[in-house]
C-alpha cells in the first residue's frame, strides 16, 4: 500500500514538473538590460528590462529561435528540452501503469505474481524516464560559453547566472520515489488467499 501511495505522489510531482520551469537564467549589464529567462518543457518565458523598456514574453521554442532577443540563450539546447518533454510524458504513462498494477496487487485483482512483477517493471521504467532527462539537462549548455550547469560569471560589465528550476529537482525526487516503490513492492510477500483466517483449536471446556 505504501508503494502504491508513493507512486501516486510521484505521478503528481511529474505533472507539476511538466508544467514548471526546468532552468532559469538571469542576466544584467549590457544596454541597461536586466532579465530573467525561464525554460519550460513547452515554452520559454522572458521578463525584464531592455534599453529602459519592460519586456514580458512567452513563446514556444520554434518561435523563440526566430524572435528571441539577445539573452545569450543557446538555441541548440532547445533540442534537449524537446527530448525531455517526451521522456517526461512517457514517465507519466509508466507511472500510471505502475499505480494500476500495484493497486491490483494490493487489492488482489488479477494474478498477484503478474501484478507484482509488472508494477516493479513499470516502476523501474519510471525511474529511468525521470532520471534520464534530468541527467540530460545537466550535460546541456543552456547559455553560450557558460562554465557549468550551475554557474555565475561576469565579464566586461555583463553578469550571467544559471541554475535548474524547481521542476528539475522534482524529477530527481520522482526517480528516488520510483526506485523506493519498486523495492517496496518486490520485497512484499504474496499472502495466499485464506492464510489470514487461522484455524482455532477446539474448545477444551
- Average confidence score pLDDT of the chain: 83
Domains observed in the chain: 2-187 (1.20.140.150)
Distance, CA of 176 to CA of 36 (rounded, Å): 30
Burial class (CB in 10 A: 0-12, 13-18, 19+), 49: middle
Where is average pLDDT lowest: 18-22, 153-157, 175-179? 153-157
Residue 69 has pLDDT above 70, yes or no: no
Residue 23 has pLDDT above 80, yes or no: yes
Where is average pLDDT lowest: 38-47, 87-96, 142-151, 158-167? 142-151
pTM confidence score: 0.82
What's the pLDDT band for 28 if we cut at 50, 70, 90?
confident
Joined grid coordinates for residue 60: 514556444
Burial class (CB in 10 A: 0-12, 13-18, 19+), 200: exposed
Interval 98-105 mean pLDDT: 91
pLDDT of 57 reads: 81
Amino acid at each position: 500500500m505504501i508503494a502504491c501511495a508513493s507512486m501516486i505522489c510521484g505521478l503528481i510531482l511529474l505533472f507539476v514538473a511538466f508544467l514548471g520551469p526546468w532552468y532559469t537564467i538571469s542576466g544584467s549589464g549590457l544596454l541597461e538590460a536586466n532579465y530573467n529567462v525561464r525554460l519550460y518543457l513547452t515554452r520559454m518565458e522572458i521578463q525584464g528590462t531592455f534599453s529602459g523598456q519592460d519586456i514580458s514574453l512567452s513563446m514556444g521554442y520554434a518561435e523563440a529561435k526566430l524572435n528571441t532577443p539577445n539573452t545569450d540563450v543557446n538555441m541548440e539546447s532547445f533540442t534537449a528540452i524537446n527530448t525531455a518533454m517526451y521522456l517526461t510524458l512517457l514517465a507519466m504513462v509508466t507511472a500510471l501503469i505502475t499505480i494500476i498494477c500495484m493497486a491490483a496487487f494490493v487489492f488482489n485483482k488479477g494474478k498477484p505474481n503478474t501484478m507484482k512483477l509488472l508494477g516493479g517493471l513499470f516502476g523501474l521504467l519510471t525511474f529511468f524516464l525521470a532520471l534520464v532527462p534530468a541527467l540530460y539537462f545537466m550535460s546541456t549548455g543552456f547559455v553560450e560559453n557558460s562554465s557549468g550547469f550551475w554557474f555565475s560569471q561576469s565579464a566586461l560589465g555583463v553578469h550571467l547566472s544559471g541554475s535548474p528550476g524547481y521542476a528539475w529537482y522534482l524529477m530527481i525526487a520522482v526517480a528516488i520515489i520510483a526506485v523506493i516503490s519498486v523495492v517496496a513492492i518486490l520485497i512484499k510477500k504474496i499472502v495466499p488467499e485464506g492464510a489470514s483466517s487461522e484455524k482455532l483449536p477446539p474448545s477444551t471446556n
